Structure 1
Amino acid sequence: MSGEATRYEAGEAFARRMDAEDPLRAFREEFLFPRHGDGAELYLLGNSLGLQPRKAQQYVLEAMDAWATLGVDGHFKGSRPWMEYHLSLGEQMARVVGARPLEVVVMNTLTVNLHLMMVSFYRPTLERSKILMEASAFPSDQYAVASQVRHHGYDPAQTVIPLAPREGEDVLRTEDILEVLERRGKEIALVLFGNVNYLNGQAFDMAAITRAAHAQGCRVGFDLAHAAGNLRLSLHDDGPDFAVWCSYKYLNGGPGALAGAFVHERHAHDASLNRFAGWWGNDKRTRFLMKPDHEPTPGAEGWVLSNPPILQLAALRASLELFDRATMPALREKSVKLTGYLEFLLDRLPPGFVHSLTPRDPEQRGAHLSLRFSKDPQRMLQTLRSEGIHCDFRSPDVIRAAPAPLYNSFVDVHRFVDVLDRHARS
C-alpha cells in the first residue's frame, strides 16, 4: 500500500488483494472480536467502543497479581511499579496525538477533563464571555459548556454561539467559522470544537481555527473523542491551549477507560492559571513532603487530581503498545484507503438509496462515514445485525460505519456494502 491514489475496483478479488498487500494486516489478530454464529462479527464500531486487545487481560491480571503479592509495595516494586506506571502511557499517548510528553496526561474521563480545562481556560469577563462551538457538538460537551457558563453567572442561551451548516448543507465550511471569529472574536472567550464531529464525521481544520482564534485573543480547546487514534494529529504544532479525549473508541482502552488531556507547553510553568488542584498534581519533588500549599507539576500533569487507577492503565497499555508498533502515519494511510473504498462502493449502490453526510475530501474526515438511507434506517440496522454486521444508529436517521485500520479489512468493507446492495435491490 503506497501513498499514491488508489484505483478501486468493485469485485471481492480487489478487496482480498488489498488485504494481502496491507503491511498492517497482522494487527487484526491482536484483537478479540464478538461472535456471530460460528464466526466473528463484522465490527464497524471503533468510533463507539473499540475492540479488546488480546493482551489487555494479561496486563490487568499482572497488576492484580502485583497487588496480591506485594500489597502497598506494588507502588515501588515489581516489574512495573505503580508510581511510574502512567509515565510511559503518557509518552505513548503523546505520540498518538502529536504532542510532547510534557503536554499530555492520561487521567479521569473526557467530560471531567473538559470541566478541569474550562476552569483554567474559560475565564469570562463582561467584554469577553462567549463560547463558540459547533451546533451539533456531542451532548455531553453541550451540557458541560452550559453548566460552566451558568457557574459564572451567564445565560447559555445568550453566551454560547452554536455554529450550524448553511441551509441545505451537512457540514460547516471553514470560511464560515473564520468569518465568525473575525466578526465576533472580541466577544469570544473560548473556542471549543470537536475535532471530528460525532454526528456527521467532519474533521475541522484545527490549525486554521486555532490561528484565527488566537489572533482575536480567544482561548482554544478541542474535544478529540473521535479524532485520537483516528487522525494524524499535531497538537503541539497546531497550538490549541488544550484538548481532551476519551480512549475507549479508536484507542481501544475498554468501556469507561481513562481519558487524555493536552495542555500546550506554553502553559507548562504557569502556576498562576486558575485550576482545581489535587495531591497527585503536586510537584513530584515535594509531593511527599505533604505541604499545605499546592505546587503544580510542570505541564499537563499539574492538572491531575488523584493517583491513577492502575487496572485501567493496564488495559489501555495493551492498545497503546499496538499504536506504537503500527504508528499513526501508517494507520492513517490505511484508514484513508479503507474509508475511500467504502465510499467508492457506496457510490455504486442504486441512485438515491444512501446519502453520506460526511465530507468526501479525506482531509476533512476520519475513518467513519455517517449514512442516511432512503429506506427505514432502524430496519436497515436490524438487517445488518442479522447478517453479523455491527454499526450504530444516531437519532433521528443516521447509521455510522467506521472501518478502524488496526483491525478492519477491505473484505470487511466489501461484505458490508454487499449486504446493503442486496437490501437496496430487494
Structure 2
Amino acid sequence: MDTTESGARELDQGDPGYRDRFAIPPAEGGAYPEAAYFAGNSLGLQPLAVREELLEDLDDWARLGVEGHLGARRPWLPYHSLLTGTAARLVGALPSETVIMNSLTINLHLLMVSFYRPEGERTKIVIEDSAFPSDSYAVRSQARFHGLDPDSAVVRLDAAEIPDFLDSEGNTVALVLLGGVNYLTGELLDIPAITAAGQAVGAVVGWDLAHAVGNVPLRLHAWGPDFAAWCSYKYLNSGPGAVAGAFVHERHLGDARLPRFEGWWSTEEATRFDMAPVSRPPSTVEAWQVSNPPILAMSPVRTSLRIFDEIGMDKLRARSIRLTGYLEKLLDEIVPGRPITVLTPREPEHRGCQLSLRVPDADEVSRRLRFDHGVYTDARKPDVVRIAPVPLYSTYHDCWRAANAVATVIGEVA
C-alpha cells in the first residue's frame, strides 16, 4: 500500500467526494490551512447552501410577517412536509411513516408513550450496555414513570448477548431499544435480524439511529421495526441541536388503541384552524407531532436532506467503505506497535464510517491532534478517540494526515 502523501493526493484525484459543498474550519495547528475534520459523528459541517436558503426564510419573515404562514416562498404552515419525502427516502420509509420534528430524546419519549406498555411479567427494556447515556436516562425514566424499578426493568447487554437473552427471557421483554450504530465503538448492529428476533418473542422493537442515519443505508419500512428516531446534527449536517426525525411503521398508523400525547400539530391539517376542542389525528406519523415546527431551525435540515437526495446513500456508503478502509490500513502500517487498539469491527458490513481507537489518554491525544496537527477528532473519557471519515467532505489526504498525526501524538503521550 502506498502510504505517502502523494499517494493520498492521487486517490483524491480519482475519488474526490463533495468537499466543495461544505464550510471547512481552518486548522489551528499543523502545516495545512484547513482542518482535517473527523468529528462529524458529533457535529457535521455546514453545507454552504444553508446560508443563502436560511436568509431567504428570514427575508420572508421580514417581508410578510404573519402572512408568511401561507405566503412565503416556502409557506410555513406546511413547511415540515417539504422535508418528508427526502427524509423518507434517506431512511427507506414511506412518507406517511416519516416526520421531521422535535429533538431525538423528546421523540423517543413521545414514541415510548405509545410503544412501551409494560404489563404483567412483560416489563423489561433491553438496551446496549454501552448505550448513549441519554438513551439510558430516557428508558430508566420511562420505567420509573410506570412505577417500576429501573435497576431491574432495564436490562443492559452486549450486542452479542441479545439473541440468547431474547430466546431465554423474551416473555419478560416489553421493548428492545438499541442504537443502530453504537456511538462508542462504531459497530453497526444487524437491524433487520434483531428486529425480527425481538418481535418474534412478542416485544416491541425501536431504534435510535443518531449514528446510523446519513452514515449507512437504511430500509426501515422493509425491516419492519415498530418505531425509530434520529437526530440531524451529526452525519446529516443540519446544525447544532438541529430538528430531529421519527418513524412509525405503517401497521401502527391510524391505530386508535395506541396512547399518544397530542397538541396543536397532532390534528389533521385540513381542520386545524377550525379550532375544535378535540383532536382529529391523521392516519400518518404526523399524529405524533405535538407543536408547530420551528421554521428557521428546519431550514438547514431541508438543505442538507436535499444533498443526500441528490447524491444517494448507496453511493455515499460505497465511498465511506473505501475511505474508512484506507484510514484503517494507514493506521495498521504507520502506527504498528503503538499502544492503540481499534475497537470498531474490521468488517465493513459491521461498521459505519467511524473508527474508535483506545489510547492512553483520550483527552490529551484529541487535544494534541487538533492544536498541533489541525486534525479534529473527539474524545470519550477515559481512553477512546473517535475518528469519522465522512464521505461527503473527508478526503484521503485528511486520512493520511490523521494517521501520521496519531503516530506522532501517541509516541509523545505514551
With structure 1 as the length reference, what TM-score do the two structures score? 0.93
Provide the residue aligned with 2:148 in structure 1: 154
1:198 aligns with 2:189: no
2:397 is aligned to 411
Q: Secondary structure of 1:337's match? A: helix
User: 1:20 pairs with 13, 18, 24, which one?
Assistant: 13
Residue pair 1:346, 1:354 contacting (<8 A) in 2 also: no
- Check the 8 A contact 2:41/2:354 in 1, yes or no: yes
Q: Give distance in 2, aligned partners of 1:93 and 1:387.
A: 36
Match of 1:177 among 145, 162, 167: 162
Confirm or deny that 1:392 pairs with 2:378. Answer: yes
The one-letter amino acid of 1:39's match is P
Q: 1:144 aligns with which of 138, 151, 158?
A: 138
Aligned position for 2:348: 362
Task: Please tell me whether the aligned partners of residues 363 and 381 of structure 2 are also in contact (alpha carbons under 8 angstroms).
Answer: no
Which one-letter code corresponds to 1:228 in the other structure?
A: V
Pairing partner for 1:244 from 210, 222, 229: 229
Q: State how far apart, in whole Å, the 2-side matches of 1:334 and 1:178 are.
A: 32
The structure 2 residue matched to 1:220, chosen from 189, 201, 205, is 205
1: CA distance between counterparts of 2:320 and 2:111? 30
Name the count of aligned residue pairs.
407
Give 1:334's match in structure 2, choosing from 290, 311, 319.
Answer: 319
Q: Distance in 1 between matches of 2:261 and 2:66?
A: 28
Q: In structure 1, what is the Cα distance between the partners aligned to 2:70 and 2:262? A: 24
Hey, what does 1:135 align to over in structure 2?
129
**Match in the other structure for 2:89:** 95
Task: Quote the offset at 1:100 in angstroms.
Answer: 1.1
Partner of residue 296, structure 2: 311
3-state DSSP class of the match of 1:39? coil
Q: Displacement, 1:425? A: 4.9
Give yes or no for the alignment of 1:61 onto 2:47: no
Question: 1 CA distance for matches of 2:298 and 2:218?
Answer: 22
Q: How far off is 1:352 after superposition?
A: 4.1
C-alpha change, 1:363 and 1:63, in structure 2 (3 Å) is same
10-19 vs 113-122, greater mean Cα deviation: 10-19
TM-fit CA distance, 1:328: 0.3
User: Are positions 1:383 and 2:368 aligned together?
Assistant: yes
Q: Specify the code of the residue in structure 2 equivalent to 1:336.
A: I
Contact 2:188 2:352 in 1 (8 A): yes
| DSSP 3-state at the match of 1:285 | helix
How far off is 1:271 after superposition?
Answer: 2.4
- CA distance in structure 1 between the aligned counterparts of 2:86 and 2:404, rounded to whole angstroms: 38
1:75 pairs with 2:61: no
Cα displacement (A) at 1:292: 1.7
Partner of 1:120: 114
1:88 Cα offset (Å) = 2.2
Q: Which residue of 2 aligns with 1:33?
A: 24
Shift in alpha-carbon separation, 1:411–1:152, aligned structure 2, 3 A: same
Q: Indicate conservation of the 8 Å contact 1:98/1:235, yes or no.
A: yes
Amino acid at match of 1:151: F
Q: Deviations over 1:305-349 (max 9, x none)?
A: 011011011111221111111110000000011111111111112
Q: Distance in 1 between matches of 2:410 and 2:271?
A: 66
Q: One-letter code of the match for 1:76?
A: L
Given the alignment of the two structures, is residue 275 of structure 1 paired with residue 268 of structure 2, yes or no? no
Match of 1:47 among 41, 49, 63: 41
Tell me, in whole angstroms, the C-alpha distance in 1 between the residues paired with 2:156 and 2:410.
36
Residues 271 and 296 of structure 1 are in contact (CA less than 8 Å); yes or no, is this contact kept in structure 2?
no
Instruction: Please give the alpha-carbon distance, in whole angstroms, between the structure 2 residues aligned to 1:123 and 1:404.
Output: 38
Equivalent position SS for 1:57 = helix
Contact 2:338 2:411 (C-alpha < 8 Å) held by counterparts: no
Q: Percent identity?
A: 51
Residue 177 of structure 1, CA deviation: 1.4
Find the counterpart in structure 1 of residue 244 from structure 2: 259
> 1:424 offset after TM fit, Å?
4.5
Amino acid at match of 1:156: P
Q: Distance in 2 between matches of 1:391 and 1:17?
A: 24
Q: Distance between the aligned counterparts of 1:397 and 1:422, measured in 2?
A: 17
The one-letter amino acid of 1:153's match is G
Alpha-carbon deviation of 1:231? 0.6
Deviations 1:228-259 (A, max 9, x none): 10011111111100001100000011011000
Map Cα deviations across residues 200-233 of structure 1 (whole Å, 9 max, x no partner).
1111101001111111110000000100100111
- Partners of 2:103 and 2:175 lie apart in 1 by 21
Judging changes above 3 Å, is the alpha-carbon distance between structure 1 residues 425 and 139 closer, same or farther for their aligned structure 2 residues?
closer
| 1:221 and 1:240 in contact (8 A); partners too | yes
Backbone CA RMSD of aligned residues: 1.4
Alpha-carbon distance in 2 for matches of 1:318, 1:18: 29
Partner of 1:167 in structure 2? none
1:344-397 per-residue CA deviation (whole Å, 9 max, x = no partner) reads 111112224320111111111111111012x43333223211211110000111
1:344-355 mapped onto 2 (5 Å cutoff):
344-348=329-333, 349-355=335-341
Deviation at 1:272, TM superposition (A): 2.2
Instruction: State the alpha-carbon separation in 1 of the partners of residues 62 and 38 from structure 2.
Output: 38
Cα shift at 1:14: 3.0
Encode CA deviations 1:125-146: one digit per residue, 9 max, x unaligned: 1221100110110111111101
SS at match of 1:128: coil
Q: Which runs of 5+ in 1 are unaligned?
A: 1-7, 165-171
Kept in 2: contact 1:220–1:241 (CA 8 A): yes
